[in-house]
Structure 1
Amino acid sequence: MKKTIEITSERNHIYRQRVELDGFDDLFVDVLEVAGGENSGPDPHDYFDLSLGACKAITSMMYARRKQWPLEGVSVRVNRDDSEERRGIYRLDVEMTFHGIEDPEQRARLEEISHKCPIHRLMTSSTVEVTTRTSVEA
């Protein structure tokens, strides 16, 4: 499946970007004030990190629904350690709470299943190829 996301610099802002995604209200990306931005939206790292947490939650919920387990919801906390990012090490610590699941074996299985979410697999076992090119304004 191919999907296009359009990102455009916002006028009257320093670094803020508007993201257009079919069917959704605009999203915004910015950087912290200490990096010269206005802190008017999540930064690119935030979106990277939150995509992992959201994908893990959704995957766990889908599995629990198929198994008809009493999962009422999922809370995810993603803690980032980017202190060694420049050396190629970016750490994400994910803590998941499965609301409504009392059985320790079911909780363990849901955690295991969360490791199979598409974003987790993409981040940990895929080769991502990025092609960048410039275009001329129309």
Structure 2
Amino acid sequence: MRTPITLISERNSAFRQRIEVESVEALYADAPKVLGGEGHDPDPHDYFDMALASCKAITVQMYAKRKQWPLEAISVTVARDDRKEREGEYSLEVHLAFDGPLSDEQRERLLEISGRCPIQRLMTEATVTINTRPSADAAQ
């Protein structure tokens, strides 16, 4: 099992949270301004979307490296449509831009491979179980 991620509420901010992840110096989350947050940090939905973008980029880079293809860089843009989230629909449109002297076939294959990233599979194919309970050291 991986080292847990710990989130600690920032006492001087309305909704800002400090996130502790192994080997990461500083990471924060906040509610959007429209919901009372300060808007200086990504909100939880941003982190969800970032997980997909970074996973797609890493998956493509690993594949290209293994194949020794001339992928020099990748840019991933994720556009969120959450207007129907309350009805159970959350839509992400992902655009990939590959830099490097790749053939059309290589670009098409990298696009296909991006759809196999573990986070996309987790978001679209897995049954996720979440068990929430009080910590043993929680203040009473």
Q: Same fold (TM over 0.5)?
A: yes
SS of the residue aligned with 1:108? helix
Structure 1 unaligned spans of 5+: none
Q: How does 1:1-138 map to 2 (within 5 A)?
A: 1-135=1-135, 136-137=138-139
Contact 1:71 1:99 in 2 (8 A): yes
Quote the Cα distance in structure 2 between the aligned partners of 1:115 and 1:102: 19
Tell which deviates more after alignment, 77-86 or 1-10: 1-10
Q: Which amino acid aligns with 1:20?
A: E
Q: Sequence identity of aligned pairs in percent?
A: 54
Q: How far is 1:58 from its partner?
A: 0.5
Deviations 1:79-127 (A, max 9, x none): 0000100000000000001110431110110011111111010001000
Question: Hey, which bits of structure 1, 4+ residues long, moved more than 6 A?
Answer: none
Q: Which amino acid aligns with 1:137?
A: A
Give the TM-score taking structure 1 as reference length: 0.96
Judged with a 3 Å threshold, the aligned counterparts in structure 2 of structure 1 residues 101 and 130 are, in CA distance, closer, same or farther, namely farther
Quote the Cα distance in structure 2 between the aligned partners of 1:6 and 1:12: 18
Quote the Cα distance in structure 2 between the aligned partners of 1:13 and 1:75: 33
Q: Which amino acid aligns with 1:84?
A: K
Contact 1:64 1:110 in 2 (8 A): yes
Quote the Cα distance in structure 2 between the aligned partners of 1:115 and 1:34: 33
> How many residues end up aligned between the 2 structures?
138
